Every structure is written in structure tokens, then in C-alpha cells.
């Protein structure tokens, strides 16, 4: 078996999650928002945000600023961005692998936060392209998202590995014929990849 391309999830793998449950809970508490109202509104708006059909400003308008607030959208956005932290060990490993392999992202994220994260942590230095939900108009674990990523990279599923922390996303990658590694921590990754001939 020859692996020709590696596809990386970003949130929970290379970096902390962007705007997942823990990040939202932290920011909601910090700004004293009503958790249930926020959660309801978030649930309706976030798929469109992540499919790139809604801007972050529009999302914030609906989810947070539908009522007067004692803080600005800029304050809120800065707090969202501050939630993104690097996973240094995994980043170092990815940089090394990037010297020998074609690598891309295949991740769910809204446009603004995705760009912020890519730029801040210089992910473009080792990922050749970003197959992100906001650009593709599709979300993992929809198998169509994986097929589109494969097609854009021009690799066959059996020549590709998906690295993702969510079991459902790993299963979806396998459902289209890709190899997949369930990421738990940086320490386990080299061995899991080596089993696929990726060193």
C-alpha cells in the first residue's frame, strides 16, 4: 500500500477545538450570557456558519447581539479567537511529515475563525491546501466532503489517510474507502501512521 496524501482535521488535533462545546461554555460564562438561549440560537446558526453560507458577523448578530450587550462584537470575537491554542507536539510532528508527504486539511470551520487559526499557527507552511467546510459547502461526517477532498487532491481513497479525533469522522472516512487514524494524542500518532507505511 502506498499512501500519497494525508488529510488532517484541525480542531482537537493540530490545535484545540475552534468553537466547540468547551470553548463556547467558557466564553458564554465570561460574558454572562444565558446558556440556554445561546445554545438554541447557536444550534440553528452554526451549520450555515460552517458551510460558509453565513459570516461570523451575521452569526454573532443572531446568536449574541440580538439584544443590547455591554460589550462589542470585537470583544466577543477576540474571546473566541483566544480559545484557539496550538497542540505543539502534534504540530511539530505534522511539520516533519509535511517534508515527505502531500498534506491537506479536511476540517469543519467557519471562514473567519479558520483563517485566523491558519494564519496564527502558520498551518500553510505544511498543509498544501485547506479543504474546509466553509469553502466546500459540506460538513464532515458527510461522506461527500471526503470524496470532494480526494477529488480536489486527485488521490484515490486507498492512497489517503484521514487523521481525526472524532470517531464518527473516522468512520465516515473509512466509509468512502480512505484509511483513517483516530487521533487521541501526539504520542500515539507515529505508530498508527507507521502501520500504514507513513513515516
Which residues contact Mg ion by CB under 5 A? Answer: 9, 11-12, 165
> Which residues, listed in sequence order, are joined to residue 162 by a DSSP beta bridge?
7, 180
**Nearer to Mg ion by C-beta: 9 or 112?**
9
**Nearer to Mg ion by C-beta: 64 or 170?**
170
Least separation, in Å, of the C-beta of 139 and Mg ion?
A: 12
**Nearer to Mg ion by C-beta: 72 or 85?**
85
Cell of 27: 466564553
Report the SS3 class of residue 169: helix
Residue labelled with grid coordinates 473567519: 112
**Nearer to Mg ion by C-beta: 71 or 139?**
139
> Residues 6, 12, 15, 17: is their CA dihedral positive or negative?
positive
Least separation, in Å, of the C-beta of 13 and Mg ion?
A: 6
- Our CA dihedral for 4, 10, 13, 17, rounded to 10 degrees, sits at -170
Greatest pairwise CA separation for the chain in angstroms: 58
* Angstrom distance (rounded) from CA 152 to CA 67: 42
> Which residues, listed in sequence order, are joined to residue 181 by a DSSP beta bridge?
163
Least separation, in Å, of the C-beta of 74 and Mg ion?
A: 27
**Nearer to Mg ion by C-beta: 9 or 50?**
9
Q: Are 186 and 89 in contact (CB under 8 A)?
A: yes
Amino acid at each position: 500500500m502506498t499512501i500519497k496524501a494525508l488529510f488532517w482535521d484541525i480542531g482537537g488535533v493540530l490545535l484545540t477545538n475552534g468553537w466547540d462545546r468547551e470553548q463556547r461554555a467558557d466564553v458564554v460564562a465570561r460574558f454572562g450570557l444565558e446558556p440556554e438561549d445561546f445554545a438554541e440560537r447557536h444550534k440553528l446558526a452554526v451549520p450555515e456558519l460552517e458551510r460558509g453560507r453565513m459570516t461570523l458577523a451575521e452569526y454573532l448578530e443572531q446568536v449574541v447581539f440580538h439584544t443590547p450587550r455591554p460589550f462589542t462584537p470585537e470583544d466577543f470575537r477576540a474571546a473566541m479567537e483566544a480559545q484557539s491554542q496550538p497542540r505543539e507536539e502534534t504540530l511539530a510532528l505534522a511539520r516533519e511529515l509535511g517534508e515527505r508527504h502531500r498534506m491537506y486539511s479536511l476540517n469543519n470551520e467557519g471562514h473567519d475563525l479558520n483563517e485566523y487559526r491558519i494564519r496564527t499557527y502558520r498551518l500553510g507552511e505544511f498543509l498544501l491546501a485547506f479543504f474546509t467546510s466553509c469553502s466546500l459547502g459540506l460538513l464532515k461526517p458527510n461522506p461527500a466532503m471526503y470524496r470532494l477532498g480526494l477529488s480536489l487532491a486527485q488521490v484515490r481513497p486507498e492512497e489517503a489517510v484521514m487523521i481525526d479525533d472524532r470517531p464518527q469522522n473516522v468512520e465516515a472516512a473509512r466509509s468512502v474507502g480512505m484509511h483513517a487514524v483516530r487521533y487521541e494524542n501526539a504520542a500515539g500518532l507515529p505508530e498508527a501512521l507507521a502501520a500504514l507505511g507513513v513515516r
